[in-house]
Amino acid sequence: MFRARRRTSLRLRLSPPLMFMGTCALLSIAAAQITAAAPFRQPASAAAADGTTCPAGATLARAAATRHTSGIATALDAILDAGVYTGQALTISGAGRSTSINLPAESFVGKQMGDALVYTRFANGKSEVHLADVATGCDTIVARPAGVVRSAVLDPSAAAVYVHAVSNPARTDLGVTRYALDGSAGTQAVPPVPDDPDFGLTFGTQLGWSTDGTALFVQSCGAEQCRTRVLDLTSYALATYADAGQGSIVGVTSKHIVTFAACDGSPCPVVSIDRSSAAERVLAQQAISASIDATAGGSAEATITTPAGTTEVDQ
C-alpha cells in the first residue's frame, strides 16, 4: 500500500494533550502514537478518559467552531493500492499524539472552522456527513444524505451543514441540501446544476462561503470550465455565473466572485466577476497563486502572486 501525502492548510496548534477516544465502529485507526482504541468519540458515549462527554451535533458544532485550539495539525494522505486510489487517511496530531481515520475512496475532508472539521464518506451504499471536534476527539454523524455524498461545509454560524451529493448509481447531480444540526430533516438549498452541453459532465463541485458569511457558493466544473451559483442567505436569491472561461474559484466576497481562468495549471489569469452586473475584470494575467481574505470593516482583499510579485486588490 502506498500513501501519497497531501499537505493541507488545516493546521492548528493545540496545547492540551489530545485524548482521541471513542467507540465509532465505522472508523478505523491507521496511525500510531495514540493511546486510545479509536480516534473519535461518538456523542452520548460514556464519559471518556478525560472526563468529558461528547455533546450532540449542534452543541458540538458551536463549541468546536468557536474554539481554536493551537498545536493541532491535520493532514490527508491518499491511500493507493498498487497504483489505485482506494481512499484517504485523515491524520490529526498534536501534543505528541496522532490519530488517523481511514476514509473510503468516496470521501471528502473539509476545511476546519475553529476546531470543527466536517468530513464525508460513502461506503456500502450509504452516505454519512461527520462533524468532528479535532481538539476533543468528539465525532458525530450529522446527516445521512441520499445518494453519494461528495462534499459538505459547515455554515458560518455552525447551525447547519450544506451537503452536495450525486445520485447512486447514475451520479446525476442532486444539488445542495441543508441539514440543521438539531436533527431536523434536510431541505434543498441549491437545486441540481442544470445540464448544459457547454459544460458537459461535472467533474468536481466545490462549496464555500463568502468572506462575509452571507452567501454560499457552489462551483460546478466540467472538463473544460466552471460555473458558479451563489445563494444569498439573506434573500435566498440564487444567482448563476456561467460565462465561458471560468476556472477554479478563489473566493467570493460581498461584491465579487474571484476565480482563475479555465486553466489546468499555472500561471493562469485571475478574474473578478461583479456579483451584481456579472461584469468581468482580469486582475492578473499570469497568476501563480491567489487567495481572498476578509479585512477589517467587512471588506475583502484578493492577494495575487505573479512572477512579477504579489499584489493586493480590494474586492
Partner 1 sequence: MIRICGSAFVATVLLALCGGNALASSPTPASGPTWNPNQHVDYRWKAGDEPPAWMKAAINAAAQDSNDSRGAKAAVLSQSDSGSSWIAYSADIPTTWAIGYTVRSIPSNFTMRLRPQGYPLDWGTLRWCQFYDSPPTGCYDAEMIALHEFGHSQTLDHPDDADVDTWTDTVMHWAPKTKSKAGWNQHEFGPCDVARLQIRYDPLTNSTPYSTCLDLDTDMSLSASATSVYSGGSITFTARLRVADDASWPLLASNPLSGRSIVIQRRAVGGTSWANVGSMAVLDDNGRYTRSLTLTDAYDYRASFAAPNNEGLEGTTSPIVRVTVYSSGGECGETKSLIERHGSFYTC
Site residues (CB under 8 A) for partner 1?
A: 3-7, 78, 80, 82-86, 88, 105-106, 150, 166, 171, 173, 200-206, 220-226, 243-245, 247-248, 261-269, 271, 280-282, 285-286, 288
Query: Least CB distance from residue 282 to partner 1, whole Å?
Result: 6
- In the bound state with partner 1, the residue whose beta carbon lies nearer, of 157 and 203, is 203
Closest separation between CB of residue 82 and partner 1, Å? 7
Alpha-carbon distance 246 to 130, whole Å? Answer: 31
d(CA 297, CA 292): 15
How many C-beta neighbours within 10 Å does residue 311 have?
15
Alpha-carbon distance of 300 to 315, in angstroms, equals 5
Measured from the CB atom, the residue of 54 and 129 that comes closer to partner 1 is 129
Which of 18/226 has CB closer to partner 1? Answer: 226
Report the nearest approach of partner 1 to the CB of residue 141 (Å): 20
What's the rounded Cα separation, in Å, for the pair 203 and 298?
Answer: 33
Residue 277 burial class via C-beta count within 10 angstroms: exposed 0-12, middle 13-18, buried 19 and up: exposed
Based on CB atoms, which residue is closest to partner 1, 73 or 159? Answer: 73
- Provide, rounded to whole angstroms, the least separation between the CB of residue 64 and partner 1: 25
**Three-class DSSP category at 148:** strand
Maximum Cα–Cα distance across the chain: 58
Cα distances from 257 to residues 165, 231, 268, 308, 311, in angstroms, run 23, 12, 16, 24, 17
Between residues 40 and 199, which has the closer beta carbon with respect to partner 1? 199
Specify the DSSP class assigned to residue 22.
-
Q: Residue 52 Cβ, how far from partner 1 at the closest point, in Å?
A: 34
What is the closest distance, in whole angstroms, from the C-beta atom of residue 306 to partner 1 in the complex? Answer: 11
